[in-house]
């Protein structure tokens, strides 16, 4: 948030919306701030991020089962150890690159990268998750 308000001179209300949109992914935050300052609407920025997620998710079917296990586990505890779900780092890396999760190497944890995308597309993931966000 400080980056948006102090470095980019975006007011706190708009900064919070941008921050929530990209879920603290700094590269996406930087790009979203650029787009916002170029007078793009939040809806346009969100559409661009959605397209990026969907393009990256093209190979999601290879990891469909593990993705759903991770989704269900993350909804319960908010973060997980990546190697609890994979036998090797190559598969873990491929999965994390092409999906909707963020990997934090300092803690070896997985978190949601775009939680709003999960909420809006819950039926695609075959999850009954509405009770978790009441």
pLDDT in tens, 5-19: 999 999 999 999 888
| % pLDDT > 70, the chain | 76
Query: SS3 of 117, please?
Result: helix
Instruction: Look at residue 27 and tell me whether its pLDDT is greater than 80.
Output: no
CATH of 58-133, one of 3.40.50, 1.10.10, 2.60.40, 1.10.1060: 1.10.10
Task: Note the pLDDT tens digit of each residue in 62-87.
Answer: 677 777 777 777 777 767 777 888 88
At 77, list the tokens. 């505890």
pLDDT at residue 126, rounded to an integer? 56
Q: Kindly tell me if the per-residue pLDDT of 99 is higher than 80.
A: no
**Considering the chain, what is the average pLDDT of its residues?**
76
Residue 129, pLDDT > 50, answer no
Domain regions of the chain by residue span: 2-40, 58-133
DSSP 36-88: HHTT--HHHHHHHHHHHHHHHGGGGGGGHHHHHHHHHHHHHHS-EEGGGS-SS
Spatial distance between the Cα atoms of 17 and 70, rounded to a whole number of angstroms? 26
Give how far the C-alpha of residue 34 lies from the chain's centroid of Cα atoms, to the nearest Å: 19
Structure-block tokens of residue 45: 């920025």
**For range 15-41, the mean pLDDT:** 84
Is the pLDDT assigned to residue 132 strictly greater than 60?
Answer: no
């Amino acid at each position: 948030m400080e980056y948006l308000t102090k470095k980019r001179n975006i007011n706190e209300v708009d900064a919070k919306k941008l921050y929530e949109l990209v879920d603290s992914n700094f590269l996406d935050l930087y790009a979203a701030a650029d787009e916002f300052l170029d007078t793009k609407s939040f809806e346009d920025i969100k559409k661009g991020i959605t397209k990026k997620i969907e393009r990256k998710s093209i190979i999601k079917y290879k990891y469909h089962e593990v993705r759903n296990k991770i989704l269900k586990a993350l909804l319960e505890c908010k973060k997980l150890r990546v190697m609890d779900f994979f036998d090797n780092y190559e598969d873990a890396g491929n999965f994390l690159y092409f999906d909707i999760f963020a990997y934090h190497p300092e803690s070896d944890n997985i978190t949601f990268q775009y939680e709003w995308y999960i909420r809006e597309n819950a039926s695609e993931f075959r999850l009954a998750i509405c009770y978790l966000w009441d």
